[in-house]
Amino acid sequence: MATVVSGPQVASARPAAPSRRVSSSARRPNRIGTVVLLIGALYCLMPVVWVLTASTKSANELFSTLTFVPSTHLWDNIRELSAYRGGLYWRWMANTALYAGVGALASTLVSAMAGYGLAKFVFPGKRAVFNVILAGVLVPGVVLAIPQYLLLAKVGLTNTYWSVLLPSMISPYGIYLARIYAAASVPDDVIEAARTDGAREWRVFGSISVPMMMPGLVTVFLFQFVAIWNNFMLPYIMLGNDRLFPITVGLSGLLNQGASQPAMYTSVITGALLSILPLGALFLTLQRYWQVDLAAGAVKA
C-alpha cells in the first residue's frame, strides 16, 4: 500500500499523435462505462439513502409508508435512542472510539518499531522473524478469539477494556507494511549521519525515522482503526457487560431485542445511521490516503 498523492496523469512526451482516428477514439465518451459506474455507485449508496430516510420515520410509518419517502421524526428518534437506558448508545460510541483510537495508535507504534527494526538492522534470526510475521498475516484472526478468551479468562482480564485493546495492538500485516515503508523511505546514510553526530538511538528513531515513515504510518493507523471499528467477534466474545460494548455489539443486541418488541427497530435504524457518520466523515476527509497497494511498493510523498 502506498500513500501516493498523484496529480493529473502527465501526458507522455511523444509528439502529437500522427493519426486523428486514434485521438478521437481515445476521447470518445464511454457511455456504457459511465452507466456501469453509476449503477455501481447507486447500488453502494442505496442502503445509505435508505437508512437516511428510514431514520426519519416513526415506528408506525417504518413498515407502512413508501420506502424512500422521508418523514419528520428524525429528532424524536435520536432523542428516544439517547434516552435508552440513560444514554447507553453514546457510551457505546465512546467505547468504539476508545477501542479503535487507542488500539490503532498502539498498534501503529508497535508496527513502526518492529518494521524499522526489521528493515534497518542486521541481526541473527532476521529472516525467521520476518517469515513468522508473514505467516501471521495469513492466520485467520477470528480463529484466535476463543483461545484468546480462555487465556484472558485465566488471568481475569475478560470483560474489561483490556480484553479488546490488547489483542488489537498486534497486527502482523501492519508490521509487514511498516517494514516496507522503513526500507523505502529512511535512507541508511541519514541514520548513519545522525549516529555519527552522537544522536541517541531513540532520538534517531523518534525525530528522524518516524517523520520519514509518517505517510506510511498514517495508512497503517487508518487500516487498523477501521479494522477495530468494524470488529465484531472479538468484543462479542470478550465482553459480557453492555456498558463496555462497542457500537457493533451493542446494535446487534438491540436488533435482537427488536425481534420481540418491534418498536425498538426505529432506535436500531437511527443508531445505525449515527454510527456510520463518524467513519464516513473520516473517509471523505482522508480520501487521498486511500490508495491501497496491498504488497506495497515505493512510497512517494
Partner 1 sequence: MNRATVATPNRGVRRHTGLRAYGYLAPAAVLFTLFLALPIVYALYLSLRTVKVKGLGLGRGARTEVWAGLSNYRHALVGDPDFLGSVGRVALYGLVLVPTMLGLALLFALLLDARGARARGFSRVSIFLPYAVPAVIASLLWGFLYLPRVSPFLYVAGRLGWPQPDVLSQQWVTFAIANIGLWGGVGFNMIVIYTALKAIPSELYEAARLDGASEAAIAWRIKVPVVAPSLILTFLFSMIATLQVFAEPMTLRPLTNTISSTWSPLMKVYRDAFTRNDIYSAAATSVVIALATFVLSFGFLRLVQRRAFSQENS
Site for partner 1 in 124-153 (CB under 8 A): 124, 126, 129, 132-134, 136, 138-144, 146-148, 150-151
Q: Which stretch binds partner 1 (CB under 8 A): 75-83, 87-95, 110-118, 210-218?
A: 110-118
Binding to partner 1 by CB under 8 A, coded x per residue (else -) over 147-186, reads xx-xx--------------xx-xx-x--xx---x------
The single residue among 110, 208, 214, 218 that binds partner 1, judged by CB under 8 A, is 110
The single residue among 78, 105, 113, 210 that binds partner 1, judged by CB under 8 A, is 113
User: In angstroms, rounded to a whole number, what is the distance separating the alpha carbons of residues 299 and 301?
Assistant: 6
Using an 8 Å Cβ cutoff, are 134 and 71 in contact?
no
Should residue 229 be labelled a site residue for partner 1 when binding is judged by CB under 8 A? yes
Should residue 230 be labelled a site residue for partner 1 when binding is judged by CB under 8 A? yes
Should residue 117 be labelled a site residue for partner 1 when binding is judged by CB under 8 A? yes
Give, as ranges, the residues between 41 and 80 that touch partner 1 (CB under 8 A).
41-48, 50-51, 54, 62-63, 66-68
Look at residues 235, 231, 213, 224 and name the one whose alpha carbon lies nearest to residue 103. 224
Supply 240's cell numbers. 459480557
Q: Which amino acid is at 31?
A: R
Q: Which is nearer to partner 1, 172 or 216 (CB)?
A: 172
CB of 30 to partner 1, least distance (A): 3
Q: Which stretch binds partner 1 (CB under 8 A): 13-21, 73-81, 83-91, 210-218?
A: 13-21
The single residue among 2, 81, 217, 299 that binds partner 1, judged by CB under 8 A, is 2
Should residue 212 be labelled a site residue for partner 1 when binding is judged by CB under 8 A? no
Rg (CA), the chain: 25
User: In angstroms, rounded to a whole number, what is the distance separating the alpha carbons of residues 117 and 130?
Assistant: 11
Should residue 241 be labelled a site residue for partner 1 when binding is judged by CB under 8 A? no
Residues constituting the chain: 301
Should residue 121 be labelled a site residue for partner 1 when binding is judged by CB under 8 A? yes
Should residue 207 be labelled a site residue for partner 1 when binding is judged by CB under 8 A? no
Should residue 268 be labelled a site residue for partner 1 when binding is judged by CB under 8 A? yes
> In Å, how far are 85, 204, 214, 215, 239 from 221, measured between CA atoms?
33, 21, 10, 10, 24
CB of 82 to partner 1, least distance (A): 18
Should residue 220 be labelled a site residue for partner 1 when binding is judged by CB under 8 A? no
DSSP string, 235-271: HHHH---TTS--HHHHHHHHHHHHTT-TTHHHHHHHH
**Phi and psi of 188, rounded to 5°?**
-60, -40
For Cα atoms 61, 63, 68, give the angle at the middle one, nearest 5 degrees.
75
Using an 8 Å Cβ cutoff, are 195 and 204 in contact?
yes
